Every structure is written in structure tokens, then in C-alpha cells.
Structure 1
Amino acid sequence: MSLLDDIRRPSVDYAPSIWGDIFLPFASNSSTEVNESVKQQAQILKEEVKKMFHPPTNQNIKQTLNFIDSIQRLDVFKKLKNEQGNFKEILEKDVQGLCSLYEAGNLRTRGEDILEEACDLAYSRLNSLANNPSLAAQINYCLRRPYNKSIARSEARYHMTLYQQDPSHNNQILLNFAKLDFNILQKLHQREIGALTKYVGMLIVVENSDFVRKVPYARDRLVECYVWPLAIYCEPERSIGRMFIGRVYGVIALLDDTYDAYGTVQELDLFTEAIQRWDISIIASLPKCMKVVFDAIMELFGEMELLTAQSGKSSFVVPHFKQAVCDLIKAYMVEAQWCHEGYIPTYDEYKANGFVTSTGPLCITMLTCLEEFVTEDLLNWISSDPIIIKVVSIIVRVLDDMASHKLEQERVHVASAVECCMKQYNTSQEEAYNHIHKDVEDCWKVINEECLKLNDIPRSLLDFIVNFARISEITYENHLDRFTNGKLWKDYISSLLLVPICIDGENI
């Protein structure tokens, strides 16, 4: 028996992926081909919708605003406008008006007391009306997912259903365009996740070994890993970036599970040093599965260099990418040391490290590295830990912690944000949850404020950053970890990747 066999490791029994090879057929172009006539129809409808931006003079302001609101919620506005968007609010004494007021309130910044009060009032009034069966669905969705905290892609699908059920919305051209656009883009996303599934399958064949057996402690969450970059940006021109970042997220999940659910503190110390120095000889004595993770990281660095070589930017892009990975590894090591020592940091101390373990800085660095607008100055700005990236990352970290807190009490685990908050403020668990929820709301105010101030940062990058917080709101909604427990996310992912929207009773 070897020394490795004598080591007692944490015991985590993650469920297998619920998806299996369901997406593998999509790797074939023929299965995701969009008929040319469908593309032409979408283009014709797009031109018709553009004409609607020049309404007749007898159309009143409410009709115009309802049209603009529909365009935004059906996720076709970005195809018909420039980079800058304008906010317009309508205050009415009905449910629609209250929902609009609540939506406006979610755009508040720090110190906007009147808007804060209006938001609270709208929330309270809508809650009191939610028992009405005819209004419950609309109200509950509004309260759960205000537009500013939602992902446009899933928001669009939901509002297409509402739109066609509401007799006041009778613009069939707009609705059909939104449906066609959604379905055409879904075909591309299917092809991407199919290619990723095929890639992982080929790795298993080449290695002549079951990956799950080689890294037995890791979560198999390829599809869930792809959904995060899909939520951050869904546009056709960012296909390569989505697929690469989906793979990176898969490796990040391996890293997270290696530090959280497998390695001893001594092994992790060596592994951390090996990554910092890019020296595989350091991990010669470590388990084979940790070498597999090391090799996966090295492969990603090589691929990032290839992806950015043609633009001539790899000389400054790759070092920033590597440094972001190193920073994440070091932050994971801090948590591993805390766990080993049984140390519970203060909530503030935990957040200072946790905004890095959220993977926010690394994710945003990756997204930027693959964009045409990337510059060394922009990457330097990201690596300086600007406040918007910090607060977005804190949202991701603490929402994840609140969702996984209960399960983690069943094993040895680093103290979560919940335990750290309880310690710092000497509160109960329930009070800690309330405190963290308020913290999240305050972070959103800072996000709104920074988005108004950062005029020198590309609008696309700001959208990426905010979408990182938005997808976490969906992933960990109601304190449920949908990333780890795939069954909880099945319907949501199916609506994005498997089920097309019917148009006149047919699928394209």
C-alpha cells in the first residue's frame, strides 16, 4: 500500500451529469443547419421592425413606449440600436405601472433615497397583489427577476409567451421576428455545445481511460460550464470565445474541486507552487489526477496563445491570462489553509479573498483577452481590481455560498460567507443571510453607479461584467445550487439549448 493510499481525503459524492451524450448529435452541422428561406424571412422581418421606429404622428406616447419595452424584453433591441441605451420610466396606478416602478428601482445607485423608497413601495404593493390568480405569474416573475438582474436570452423567451397572451400586444411582425431570431441563434448554440461534448468524448478515447475515473472527485458539469459564457454573451460573432471559455470553466471546476474536495494541504501547497512556476517536475510526487489537472491548465495557455497570435496581441494577453490563473490558485490555497487550520475569518477578510475565488477576475480577463477591443491598458485596468469587478465578484461568491452552505455542513469545509458573517457580527444564521442579502443589494447599487461613470470602458465589456452577476442570480436563486445539482437547472437549460419556440404551430 502506498503513502497516497493511507491519506484520508474529504468525501464528496457529486451526482453524475444529467445530460450524458444528449448534445453529441448537434456536433454535426447538418443537424443544426438553418434553412436559407428561414434566414431570408428573418431578414425581411428585421427590416419591417426597423420601419416601426418611425411611428405615425397619431400614435400616442404610451403606445410608443410599450413598443420599445417589448423590443427590449424580446431581446431584439440590440439588433436595431447602437451601443448606448436610454432609460425611460412610466408611472401608472396599475400592476404594469408598479412593475415598471420596481424595475426602475432596481437601477438605483447609492444615496438615491427617493428611488429606494419607491422600490420598497412597489415591492410591498406587488406582494400584496400576488395572491390574485390572474396576476400572480406576472408579479412573481417581476419580483424574482427584475430586468436589470436578468439574462436577456432567457428573459426574451419568457416575455414572448407573455406577449402573445396579452391582447394589448398585437404586433405579430415583432413577435415572429423575435421567435425566428431566437431559434436561429439556438441552432448555433446547439452546434457549440455539441462540439464541446464531442471534444471531451475524443479526449476519453485518446487517453483510453474514463475521465471520471481519472479525476473521480470532480463534478462532471460540461453543459453547465457552457451556460455561463452563453449567458454572458450569446452573439454569433463570439462563438469561439464561448466554446473556449466553456472549456476553461470546466478546468476551473476541476481546480475548485481539487482544492475543495480532494487535495491535502501539503499536496495543494506543491500544486500551487508548480502552477506559479509552471514547473511540472514539482508535482512528480502528487497523485496522477492532480497531474491531469495541471496538464489541462497548460493546454489552455497554449490555446489562448494560438487564439490571440493572429491579432499580434498574445505577447501581452497570455501573461495577463496566466497571472489571473495564478491569482485564483493562490486564493484557493488561502481557503485550503484556513480549512486545514479550522480558521474562521471575519466576513470582510473572507470577501477580500472570496472575490478572487468567485472566478470573476479570471472570467472577465478571459472575456476581454478574446475581444477585438482588447488593449494592454484595458487588461491593466482589470488586473487593478476596479470596484465594479470586485462587487460583481462578491455577488457571485456570496450567492454561491448561501446556496451551498447547508450541504457543506455535512463535511469538513472552509468556512463560508454565512459562517464568517455570523462570526463577525455575532448573529444567527438567519440574520447572517439577511445581512448578506442586503450586502448583495448594496453591490448592485454600486454596479449601477459604476456603469454610469465608466465612459472610457467599452460598453460591451461592462455588459460582460454585469452579466457575470446576473447569471449567478439565476444559478443560485432561492439558495439552490443549480450548477452542482443539474436537475434543478434542467428546464432552464433545455429552454435555451434544446426546445425551439413554435411559430404558427411549427418549429424551424
Structure 2
Amino acid sequence: MALLHLPQAASLTNMLPLNIRPSCVASISKSFNPPSLTVECKASSSVRVSDQTQQVSRRSGDFQPDVWRYDYIQSLNNNYAEQAYKEDSRMLGEEVRILLSETMSRVDQLVLIDTLQRLGLGYHFKGEIKKILENTYNVDKFKNKLNLHATALEFRLLRQHGYDVSTDVFGSFKVKTGHDFQRSLSKDIKGMLSLYEASFHLMENETILEKATNFTSKSLKDFVRNNTEHELTCQVKHALELPLHWRLPRWEARWFIGEYERMPNMNPTILQLAKLDYNMAQAMYQEEVKSNIRWWQRTDLENKINFFRCRVVDNYVWGLGMKDGPDFEKLRRVIGNLCAIITLTDDMYDVHGTLEELEIFTETIARWDANDLDGLADYMKVAFFAIYNFVDELTSDIQKEKGHNVHSYLKKGWQDFCKAFMVEARWYHGGKTPSLKEYLENGWVSIGGPLLHLHAYVLMPNNPIRDLDLDLISLHDQHSNLLHVSGLNFRLLNDLGTFKREQKTGDVPSSIQCYMNDSGVSEEEAIEHIKCLVHETWKKMNEQVATSSLSRDFNVTAWELSRTATFFYYYGDDTYTLQDSTFKDRVHSLLFEPI
């Protein structure tokens, strides 16, 4: 499972074309109403392959061992889990809570909320933040319409928290005779930075926010070129590299704590709480990683089969990216373990399995009968039971905790996932390059997004499970638009990060090759087109997060999955697979190195 590659020093403009071409919008729209997956297995019941009785030629991904070793993880000893630190955190939190309530200016309150969120402290003050934003929305909405910084910040925070706000609030900043922004605004760097960050919360047909992205990007790049020592230069460079809306929150907190410490208006109490909270959260995450690596050792999968990528710590980061708060411990651990089994399955379909073996395996998953494994290769029996037992154990846990039997939904999620993999295996072994539309109609499922979202839903704490919601999540049709557009975004990011490596090892053509084949364009042009589609899926995803009938906590997992993908692949090619030293250092800072 691998997602996004961007040049290390790339600006946002290089990363994604901001003037969206009509062909780009058409491509994404054509694939926006996916058909239900009803792929039939074509394997004849008489076809039986055993890896003991036949010598077969197999591909190899040449995957390297995991850089994170069991002994190192188990040896971790973090003092920040001790009770004394919890009491310090509580006392500091009360001081900040008073500060938040006593801040008189509404703009200052919003600045403080933004600061707390970027420092990773927002979850401590959910009630206070909700009350302030509700008052802002219902009573004091956009009273500072001539202050660009205040207007853009308010717009971003309200949209981020699910409030319905119109882009009309930016009308006072446009020229009177057109739709462009007033050029004089470019001198207001704080306002430009706020408008830039707000613009990435755009939805479809919000042209003014697309114009805002273009206008602010140009102005901010001009500012950086001419102001190397300004107090905002570092923040502007950081934003141009990647907008806040697309960043992994815990990794952003690590960076912003260092940046906040250098700010002239830094509050020492807030800074102290931020550092302490980051280190305490690390202590919590380390215990969860220890639990996951012990689970992994118990499965003994690494010794039973050796053709797949073992990435226990990195798999945990996927769960951490989807929910990082203290209430979501089980979700993080289970998602991490799920990603380990997804990776095993992915590598079996993409690299190790023969077409005949994969047909039989897909048929076996469709039957879901542990007593009927006729003809299944021995290594596939191990893979089957890894999936089968994982579903059974999670079903039992959910039944005990929430009184709801989710077995049929989890089973269907895996069946659809394997069917989508089988489609790609037939393409590869048949030498077929599908059209981009055909590829995306299958690829949004094969990337694993729907499966991850399904598990996240049943694992949400304090969230009752409803069959109506599960039906919506499991349909894989036009009614599950949130999951569809999230899956598309996930797939496109994956392809941008992995296609070069997969070209070398041998794999189904990616969206990049599919578009090249469709249109006869160069690889560079195809990459730009796929980046354009990523931008389009973010717009659709913003709209779906705001309008989906599912819970807000669940809806934002669509954002969180894409942010996690960005964390994995921004600094190098397919770092999930290759685990280069830069990525290892980032994971080490995120999980193991206290501030």
C-alpha cells in the first residue's frame, strides 16, 4: 500500500496544477459513479495448483526486511506515561482553558484556537472550541469583513468543523469590476497566508477559492524570494510546500511546536503544555506499537511465508493517521494490524501468486468456508486463515462491546477487495492496459480505502453501529460517494508514489500508464494530469465530508487517510516499501523521539 511522491523541495504549484483543465474534470466525473463490483471468478473447479507439486516461475518484489526490529520496540521505556506528568498536563490545561475563555476579541479567540489545533492540543478543549465556533457562526459571523486575515481564518475554522459558510464572504476583497482579488492585498502577508490556507477547503464550482489559491501562491512565492529573514518566511515556505489541510496533524504538531517557540507572541504555558502533550502522546503510541508487534509475532506470518513486505510500525502509522486522540486506541491498533494483512494480500496478488492460484484464492474468499480449501496452495491457506481469523476475532470483539454482529459486512469488504485485486491480476497476466476510466472504477476499491473506512466505522468509540450506515458503506455504488471519492484520491496518490518502482518489478499499469495509453501523451504530461485529478478529488472530498449522512467523526477519516498518505510519500519514492533513511527518521520523530 503506497501513495504519494512529491519532489522534496517542490512548491505547491509544481505539485498540482491549479488551473484545472476541462479534460481533468471530465476524467474524474466519468469515474464518479462507480458500478457495483460483481466480478465473477473464472477459475474452473477442476483447476488446482499446489506450490509443493509444481515448480512455477514467480516474480519477486525484492522487498527488504523491516527496519524496525522486535527487540528495539519492546525495549522502549517512556517515562512520560507516569502519573506525575498527567497531573502537570492537567494543571497546564486548566491555565490554557482560562486563557481561552478570557480572551476578549473574537479574532484573538480564533487565532488561539488555530494555534492550539496546530500544536496538537485541540482535543483537550473540544467543548470550549465548539462553543466559541457556535457563537461565531450564530452571532458574530464575519464581523471583520475588511480584515482579510480574520475573514480567511474564520472561514477555514468554520469549514474545518463542519459549518456551512459561503465563499461570498470574500466578495469585499475582489475588484469591483471583475472576479479577481485586489492586487493591493498582496502586501498583507498574514492575510495572504490565511487566505491561501482557507482556499484548500474549497468544494466544486467555488471558482473564487481556486482564484484565491492561484493569487496567494504567486504572492507568497514573490514574498519568499524577497524576504529571507521576515518572521513569517518560514511559515510561508512551509505552507507553499504543502497546505495545512493536507498535512498529518501529529507531524504538523511536531513542526509547529518548534515554530511557535520562535514566535514573538509565544505563550510559555501553551508551549510547555504542547511539548508535554506531544511526549505523553508518544508514550501512549509506543505502548500501542508494542501491542501490535506482539500480535504480529503471535501470528508467525513472517516465518510461514516470506514474499511480502513486513512493516509493523509503518502499518501502525496508518491507524495513527486516521485517528490520533486518546479515545481511539483500539481503532489505531486494529487498523495497523489490518494494514499488515492488506499488505500480505496485496503482495500475493501483485507479485507472488500465479493467475491460476489467484483465481482459486478469490473463489475461496467468495465461499468463505474454512472447511473447503481444496486446491489452495499452502501459502494461500496461511493467507486465507490470516484474513478469516482476523474477521472472526474482530467480529467477536465488536459483538461484545457494541452488541452488533458485523461479520457479514467485514466478510463482504474482504470479498470485494479480493475481487478488485483479481481484476488487476487478469489485466496484468493478460497484458492488458485498461482505459483510465476502467482502471479507476476498479482501483478505488483495490487500493483498500473502502476496507479501511469500513473497519474505522465499526471501531469508532461512542458511536452506535447502524445497519443503515453499514449498508451505505458496503454498497460500493453512487450512494457511497464519500468512500468513492476518498478511494479515488487514495488510488491516485498511490500511483504517483509507486508507479516507477512497480514498472521495474512488474505490475498492472497504473493510472499514469493508462492515461498515457488513452491520450498518447508523455509521462510528464500524464503525471500532471493525475495530479490534477488529485486536486479534483480533494474538492469532492471536502464536499462529501460536509454533506455525508454519516457521523462527523467518521466522515473526516476521508481527510485523515489522504493526509497519512501524504506523510508517507512526500519525501521519497514509495517509502512504505523502501523505508529510506529520511522516512525512518520521520517515523522515529513521530513515535519514538521526545521533544
Please report the TM-score for the alignment, with normalisation by the length of structure 2. Answer: 0.77
Shift of the 445–56 alpha-carbon distance from structure 1 to 2, 3 Å rule, reads closer
Aligned pairs (5 A) from 1:15-30: 15-21=64-70, 22-26=72-76
8 Å contact kept, 2:81–2:284 = no
Shift of the 195–311 alpha-carbon distance from structure 1 to 2, 3 Å rule, reads closer
Structure 2 residue aligned with 1:427, among 508, 515, 521?
Answer: 521
Q: Is structure 2 residue 284 aligned with structure 1 residue 188? A: yes
1:481 alignment counterpart: 574
More deviation, 487-496/128-137: 128-137
2: CA distance between counterparts of 1:397 and 1:50? Answer: 41
Q: Is structure 2 residue 236 aligned with structure 1 residue 139? A: yes
How far does residue 280 in structure 1 lie from its aligned partner after superposition?
Answer: 4.0
2: CA distance between counterparts of 1:33 and 1:309? Answer: 34
8 Å contact kept, 1:32–1:190 = no
Q: Is structure 2 residue 199 aligned with structure 1 residue 110? A: no
Q: Is structure 2 residue 58 aligned with structure 1 residue 9? A: yes
How far does residue 126 in structure 1 lie from its aligned partner after superposition?
Answer: 2.1
How far does residue 433 in structure 1 lie from its aligned partner after superposition?
Answer: 0.6
8 Å contact kept, 1:360–1:393 = yes
Shift of the 289–133 alpha-carbon distance from structure 1 to 2, 3 Å rule, reads farther
Structure 2 residue aligned with 1:49, among 93, 96, 117?
Answer: 96
1:275 alignment counterpart: 365
How far does residue 130 in structure 1 lie from its aligned partner after superposition?
Answer: 3.5
**Structure 2 SS opposite 1:415:** coil
Identical-residue share of aligned pairs (%):
31
More deviation, 251-260/463-472: 463-472
Shift of the 122–314 alpha-carbon distance from structure 1 to 2, 3 Å rule, reads same
More deviation, 429-438/468-477: 468-477
**Structure 1 SS opposite 2:81:** coil
1:444 alignment counterpart: 538
**Structure 2 SS opposite 1:365:** helix
2: CA distance between counterparts of 1:261 and 1:2? Answer: 15
More deviation, 171-180/336-345: 171-180
Question: Which amino acid is 2:335 matched to?
Answer: I
1:357 alignment counterpart: 446
1: CA distance between counterparts of 2:241 and 2:383? Answer: 38
How far does residue 2 in structure 1 lie from its aligned partner after superposition?
Answer: 7.3
**Structure 2 SS opposite 1:342:** coil
Structure 1 residue aligned with 2:247, among 150, 156, 165?
Answer: 150
Q: Is structure 2 residue 361 aligned with structure 1 residue 261? A: no
8 Å contact kept, 1:393–1:469 = no
1: CA distance between counterparts of 2:51 and 2:577? Answer: 32
8 Å contact kept, 2:193–2:236 = yes
- 1:365-418 deviation digits (Å, cap 9, x = unpaired): 001112232211111121234212111111111111111111122233111111
Q: Is structure 2 residue 340 aligned with structure 1 residue 295? A: no
1:160 alignment counterpart: 257
How far does residue 166 in structure 1 lie from its aligned partner after superposition?
Answer: 1.4
Aligned pairs (5 A) from 1:156-235: 156-167=253-264, 169-204=265-300, 211-235=301-325
- 1:179-203 deviation digits (Å, cap 9, x = unpaired): 2222112111100101212232344
2: CA distance between counterparts of 1:319 and 1:32? Answer: 43
- 1:165-190 deviation digits (Å, cap 9, x = unpaired): 111x3211111112222211211110
How far does residue 458 in structure 1 lie from its aligned partner after superposition?
Answer: 1.1
More deviation, 469-478/13-22: 469-478
**Structure 1 SS opposite 2:102:** coil
Structure 1: gaps of 5 or more residues: 205-210, 502-508
1: CA distance between counterparts of 2:51 and 2:152? Answer: 68
Shift of the 201–450 alpha-carbon distance from structure 1 to 2, 3 Å rule, reads closer
2: CA distance between counterparts of 1:117 and 1:248? Answer: 41
2: CA distance between counterparts of 1:165 and 1:423? Answer: 51
**Structure 1 SS opposite 2:575:** coil
1:506 alignment counterpart: none
Question: Which amino acid is 1:226 matched to?
Answer: Y
Shift of the 275–2 alpha-carbon distance from structure 1 to 2, 3 Å rule, reads closer
2:335 alignment counterpart: 245
8 Å contact kept, 1:15–1:485 = yes
1:89 alignment counterpart: 152
How far does residue 307 in structure 1 lie from its aligned partner after superposition?
Answer: 1.1
1: CA distance between counterparts of 2:237 and 2:59? Answer: 40
Structure 2 residue aligned with 1:40, among 77, 87, 92?
Answer: 87
Structure showing greater relative contact order (alpha-carbon pairs closer than 8 Å, 6 or more residues apart): 2
Shift of the 177–364 alpha-carbon distance from structure 1 to 2, 3 Å rule, reads same
Question: Which amino acid is 1:194 matched to?
Answer: K
Structure 2: gaps of 5 or more residues: 1-49, 138-150, 154-184
Matched residues, number:
487
Shift of the 11–418 alpha-carbon distance from structure 1 to 2, 3 Å rule, reads same
2: CA distance between counterparts of 1:76 and 1:120? Answer: 31
8 Å contact kept, 2:248–2:566 = no
More deviation, 377-386/43-52: 377-386
**Structure 2 SS opposite 1:75:** coil
1:460 alignment counterpart: 553
8 Å contact kept, 1:102–1:122 = yes
1: CA distance between counterparts of 2:359 and 2:407? Answer: 24
**Structure 1 SS opposite 2:505:** coil
- 1:463-492 deviation digits (Å, cap 9, x = unpaired): 222211111122222662121111242122
Q: Is structure 2 residue 367 aligned with structure 1 residue 367? A: no
Shift of the 203–442 alpha-carbon distance from structure 1 to 2, 3 Å rule, reads closer
1:342 alignment counterpart: 431
1:416 alignment counterpart: 510
1:207 alignment counterpart: none
1: CA distance between counterparts of 2:377 and 2:303? Answer: 13
Question: Which amino acid is 2:418 matched to?
Answer: I
Question: Which amino acid is 2:487 matched to?
Answer: S
1: CA distance between counterparts of 2:459 and 2:209? Answer: 38
**Structure 2 SS opposite 1:408:** helix
Shift of the 479–39 alpha-carbon distance from structure 1 to 2, 3 Å rule, reads closer
Q: Is structure 2 residue 563 aligned with structure 1 residue 470? A: yes
2: CA distance between counterparts of 1:472 and 1:4? Answer: 41
1: CA distance between counterparts of 2:54 and 2:74? Answer: 37
How far does residue 51 in structure 1 lie from its aligned partner after superposition?
Answer: 1.0
